[in-house]
Amino acid sequence: MSLFDLIAPIYERVIRPPDPRILADLLGLPAEISLLDAGGGTGRVAAALAPLASQVIVSDLSARMLSEARNTHGLVTVRSHAEHLPFPNGRFGRILVVDALHHFCRAEEAIPELARVLAPGGRLVIEEPNIEEWSVKVLAVAEKAALMRSRFLRPDRIRDLAANEGLDARTIRDGHTAWIVADKPS
C-alpha cells in the first residue's frame, strides 16, 4: 500500500487545492473537449473543472485515491501509470497534471506518453512546485525524509521534455509554483 492509498480519505481536508480559475484559463476552458487529469488523485481539481469540459477522466496509480474521486465527486477514473496510459493516440483535447509529475515513477517517460494521448490542437498543462525556490527545496527534503519517491524537475527541464515531443511549450513561474503550458500543433 502506498502513502497515497493511506492518506486518500483525508487528502482533500489537509492539502489545499489550486485555484481552478487559473487552471481553467491556462487550459483554455470552457471547451467541448475531453479532459484527462493525469495523477489526479481524489479528483478535487477535475471536479472543479468538470462543468467546463464535455468529459473528464481522472487517472492515477492509487486505487484508494481513485475510489475517493468516484465516490465523492462521481468522476470517471482509470488506474494506470502515467508512463503507460491505456488510451489511444490523440484521445484528449486537454491534459492536466497538478502537483503530481514529481510523484510519477519516471517523469521523463510520462511526458512523451501524455503527448501521445493529446489530440492535435490540444493543450497539456503541468503545474509543479518550482524546485528553483528555497521553500520547495525544503519540501523536497521533507518528502525524501517521508520516504516518498518524489523527484522534482526544474520547470525548464519539463518544458524541454515537452518540446522534445513536438509540443510548443512555455514556462510560467509565480513564486513557488511553475506551470508548463504545451500546445500540440494541429
The answer to whether the CB of 184 falls within 8 A of the CB of 119 is yes
Q: Which residue is it, cell 525548464?
A: 156
Instruction: Write the pLDDT tens digit of every residue in 1-50.
Output: 554 544 434 434 455 667 889 999 999 999 999 999 999 999 999 999 99
Report the number of distinct structural domains present in the chain.
1
Confidence (pTM): 0.90
| CATH number for the domain harbouring residue 114 | 3.40.50.150
Kindly list the strands in the beta sheet with 55-60, ordered across the sheet, starting from the edge strand earlier in the chain: 76-79, 55-60, 34-38, 92-98, 118-129, 177-183, 168-174
Tell me the residue range of the domain where 63 lies. 3-183
Instruction: Write the pLDDT tens digit of every residue in 69-115.
Output: 999 999 999 999 999 999 999 999 999 999 999 999 999 999 999 99
Q: Which residue is it, cell 484521445?
A: 91
**Angle subtended at Cα 177 by Cα 171 and Cα 181, rounded to the nearest 5 degrees:** 30
